[in-house]
Structure 1
């Protein structure tokens, strides 16, 4: 008597359903990160705030130079003035971003942060490259090169970001936890009696991801849902009655969620009885 082996399952991305439009940053462990790039409007506003801070430094330092520089030679005054400008435009923003982990005053106000392309925190060399290139890109040419580069980049990178290998992301994100799908009424009895516990978790994850994605092309979504149904069919007993692929996936996910909630409630009740938790 032979035993049927478990079906070989491939992730949806390898089954011809090319539904991911754009990949995010990927770490060295090949883990894709969900790091939404900062909108251009937020970047412009944070940049304006940073420019204001820098020019406040410039004015304050020049006023200080005028007060303490009386009697200095013109060469000494010019050298100190250049040093103060370098401090305001390069040293201060570099140091601030390095110490704060990729944030500037404008980014703090707007909830933004500069990170490496792999999602890691920036270091001194990244902040220095961004500050050095910001002088011609933002201050010398009134931000036109930066705005043009950001508008042409899918990650809204200015030229300094490209040079440093960084991207500005949103830190303050309103995360929306997707709700489980509704149970199709005509599949409720089948799902309640079906053996769904053998379905691999990774398959359920991909099914939920595809079902909740609203930015997929319709043909790709239908193809991916069909692949999901074909993939979980050998793990479900009894097989589902005639229904659409989306209804079958919805029924499986809704029933698995109902069972998980029921198990967690039983565990909570047991903890309360054992240790008297409120």
Structure 2
């Protein structure tokens, strides 16, 4: 697989001083999510408006009443506000950064330090969606996503948020390919950066060509002053050890 795929991974440090790797969501995923959410919001707006008209009786007779006209206009404006702005904010805050569209596209919104999104960030990124939509078809937003290394639209930049691909978030304990690799306890205490390098290699190595795996493993062994014989197995064993420790700590 091309090395450029690895370049889309970003490393962030959470407020708890834990390093995690995230991959910004692709443009295709974001378009899918936005389209599904737009369909849901539009359907709700139409159905709720029809229900309002039916509730108050005949539409022609109802709108002839001046008081009802003002009440109906107020309801429509409130409903429009809720479906265009409140909808994404509530889902992002209470559903772990995921609207229904984002859930279907397997993406979520986080703070750019990897922590869950909060009220202020969600409100700001969604308020600025109006600017991202200019001049038409989210042109500014899409250009910003393509030009920033974290795939952020203008709203994300100001809110300090990032939309990530859930499928490439770290899943500790789910690395099935390590099942037959014996865990190797590091012979010496390694620094946090060295531990990160080993875990990073362990998680990435299935996507790397065999030659690249060997090259990186030998380099890691050299840096750690370990024998280079069976370098890949040695590094994977230590990676399994550290992932096991993280799993225990999380439990």
- Structure 2, gaps ≥5 residues long: 1-5, 242-251
Post-superposition Cα deviations, 1:74-110, rounded to whole Å, max 9, x if no partner, equal 4443333222211211122222222212110101112
Please name the residue that 1:24 is paired with.
Answer: 11
Residue 51 of structure 1 and its aligned partner are, at CA, apart by 1.0
RMSD over aligned Cα, in angstroms? 4.0
Q: Out of 39, 47, 69, which is 1:60 matched to?
A: 47
3-state SS of 1:52 partner: helix
Residues 79-158 of structure 1: matches in 2 within 5 Å? Answer: 79-138=74-133, 141-158=136-153
Residue 200 (structure 1) aligned with residue 220 (structure 2): no
Q: Number of paired residues? A: 212
Change (3 A) 1:197 1:165: closer
Post-superposition Cα deviations, 1:200-241, rounded to whole Å, max 9, x if no partner, equal 26388546756975779x9xx9699457426426xxxxxx6x
- Structure 1, gaps ≥5 residues long: 1-19, 183-195, 234-239, 261-278
Q: Distance in 2 between matches of 1:139 and 1:66?
A: 33
**Conserved 8 A contact 1:199-1:232:** no
**Conserved 8 A contact 1:161-1:167:** yes
**Conserved 8 A contact 1:113-1:168:** yes
Please name the residue that 1:229 is paired with.
Answer: 222
**Conserved 8 A contact 2:107-2:165:** yes
Residue 40 (structure 1) aligned with residue 27 (structure 2): yes
Please name the residue that 2:231 is paired with.
Answer: 249
Please name the residue that 2:247 is paired with.
Answer: none
Deviates more, 1:200-209 or 1:165-174: 200-209
Please say which structure displays the higher CA radius of gyration: 1
**Conserved 8 A contact 1:207-1:225:** no
Change (3 A) 1:222 1:59: same
Change (3 A) 1:201 1:39: farther
When the two structures are superposed, what TM-score results if normalisation uses the length of structure 1? Answer: 0.59
Residue 137 of structure 1 and its aligned partner are, at CA, apart by 2.9
Q: Distance in 2 between matches of 1:94 and 1:30?
A: 27
Please name the residue that 1:159 is paired with.
Answer: 154
**Conserved 8 A contact 1:23-1:32:** no
Change (3 A) 1:164 1:198: closer
Residue 135 of structure 1 and its aligned partner are, at CA, apart by 3.8
